[in-house]
Amino acid sequence: MQFRERSRVIQVIRTVYDPAIKRGRAEVVARLDKDNPEIDETVRRSCSPAELAELEEFLATRNALLNRETTRAAAQSLAAQMRLAEAFFRTGPNGVAGITAADIYTAWDDLKKAMHKAGYRKAKDGH
């Protein structure tokens, strides 16, 4: 099976041998919504068990890749987000700031532990 990602859909394509032309021809088995790809009953009926397994593996791999990419992008933009948060807290206390600060402290502690465990330690000053 082949999978083609288009602008809004993922095409699931099967190659079928055509004896009349003595070569394979592509047959679109299903079109899945790219934003929320789900294997519905129609797709299950039109695919063999091996094809379903291949489709499920493709979707799982794609989902893992997208999650990794989202996580990487979040980590890369974190410093800029922290600078914006700094500006927010410098404006002075307000009703939302206290709750937000508590959430940030908790998340910051978890992030420091994860960074330390991964081997990224804070650089010591030249003292």
| pLDDT at residue 40, rounded to an integer | 92
Give pLDDT tens digits for 63-116. Answer: 999 999 999 999 999 999 999 999 888 887 777 788 888 899 999 999 999 999
Q: Which domain holds residue 27?
A: 2-66
Q: How many alpha carbons lie under 13 Å from residue 6 in its C-beta half-sphere?
A: 11
Q: Is 10 helix (H, G, I), strand (E, B) or coil?
A: strand
Does a structural domain hold residue 97? no
**53 within a domain of the structure (yes/no):** yes
Residue 17 domain-assigned? yes
Rounded CA gap, 120 and 110, in Å? 14
What are the pLDDT digits (tens) for 3-47? 999 999 999 999 999 899 889 999 999 999 999 999 999 999 999
CA-based nearest residue to 1, from 66, 68, 59: 59
Question: What is the C-alpha separation between 35 and 7, in angstroms, rounded?
Answer: 10
Total domains in the chain come to: 1
- The model's pTM: 0.68
Domain membership flag for residue 100: no
| pLDDT value for 106 | 93
For 39-78, the pLDDT digits (tens) are 999 999 999 999 999 999 999 999 999 999 999 999 999 9
Q: ∠100-85-75 over CA atoms, to 5°?
A: 100
Q: Which two tokens stand for residue 86?
A: 């700094």
Between the CA of residue 101 and those of 93, 109, 112, what are the distances in Å? 10, 12, 16
Determine contact, residues 53/64, Cβ cutoff 8 Å.
Answer: no
